[in-house]
Amino acid sequence: MSSAALPPLADVLATARVVSLPLAARFRGIRVREAVVFEGPEGWTEFSPFVEYTDAEASTWLAGALDYGWRPSPSPVRETVGVNATMPAVAASEVPRILARYDGCRTVKVKVAEAGQTLADDVARVRAVREAVGPEGRVRVDANAAWNVDEAERAVHALAEFDLEYVEQPCAEVDELAQLRERIAYLDIPVAADESVRKAADPLRVARAGAADLLVIKAQPLGGVHAAREIVAQAGLPAVVSSALDTSIGLSMGVALAASLPELEYDCGLGTASLLTADVVASPLRAHEGLLRVERPRPTTADLDRVAADEDRTTWWLDRLRRCHALLQITPR
């Protein structure tokens, strides 16, 4: 979004509400997900970069929020989007409880390589998921760039017996992904890139390097639906549209992107409202029979009051939004 098209800060703040949503299980080391939601001419939108991100990185998330609130979304080519269940790095015994929160999802993304855990923990968790979904279910794993090449190769070998659909961001660097992809080629387990797209100065580098078989795309961190859609088009690789543990408003941004893509071969990671025990609308954007409908949630004042953050967190988030808006005026995305 160019600085000329940037909505005035006052227009953004006029409806901005900071929300605090408890999680059903610890995810990315947190128990509560915070976000700012606000209304633009096209509807409600969301600004929710993780708290540890710098303002420079977070400003791209704000560009994505403004894109969704102030620009019409691309026309959808499908009415529903298939989604996966997301399994946090819980003990294997907790797997059935988490999966029960997802209606009809036959694909599960399992978090692995959690700090403080072992490969044996990962194997036990993935085994429990495979047993739960049966031989016809699809199981993918996500290491969030935690392994080096040797660790990744060892882990993929240990997990290969569970018929993995793909392994997501096993290593941090593009050249590491390329090396691993060559080493495990005979196993026929594709490599997906996430952080190498959304946190990269050049989100297309991983595709040009032949270091991934598919891309995991998140709309808000990439500057919005339109920017993310262009990245998919230029990359020429299959895409999985995913979330960053968004509220139902943020999830609808991802659904709008997924619904607009000409091809969508994989279930998308947009079912994460099921990991929340509260949301910004009375009817959260949760999967039914493994599908999400293309819709745009509209919260009421009562909905937002119910999940409002406290005064200190509200001040923190609104100050952050102001700083990121100022950055977009200087360096428009």
Nearest-10 crossing angle of helices 149-159, 119-133: 40
Q: What are the two backbone dihedrals, phi and then psi, of residue 130, each rounded to the nearest 5 degrees?
A: -60, -45
194 marked among binding-site residues: yes
Contacts of 4 (CB under 8 A, 6+ apart): none
List 17, 111, 226, 286, catalytic entry: 111
Q: CB count, 10 Å around CB of 280?
A: 28
What is the distance of C-alpha 11 from the center of its chain?
27
Q: For the chain, first and last CA: distance in Å?
A: 5
22 forms beta bridges with 32
User: For residues 65 and 244, what is the distance between their CA atoms, to the nearest angstrom?
Assistant: 13
- The amino acid at 201: A
319 Cα distance to chain centroid: 24
Residue 265 is assigned to a ligand binding site? no
Residue 111 designated active-site: yes
Is 109 an active-site residue?
no
State the catalytic residue, choosing from 125, 130, 218, 325.
218
Q: Which residue has the tokens 């961001």?
A: 169
Longest dimension (CA), the chain: 56
Q: Report whether 122 belongs to an annotated binding site.
A: no
Catalytic residues: 111, 218
Numbered residues of the known binding site for Mg(2+): 142, 168, 194
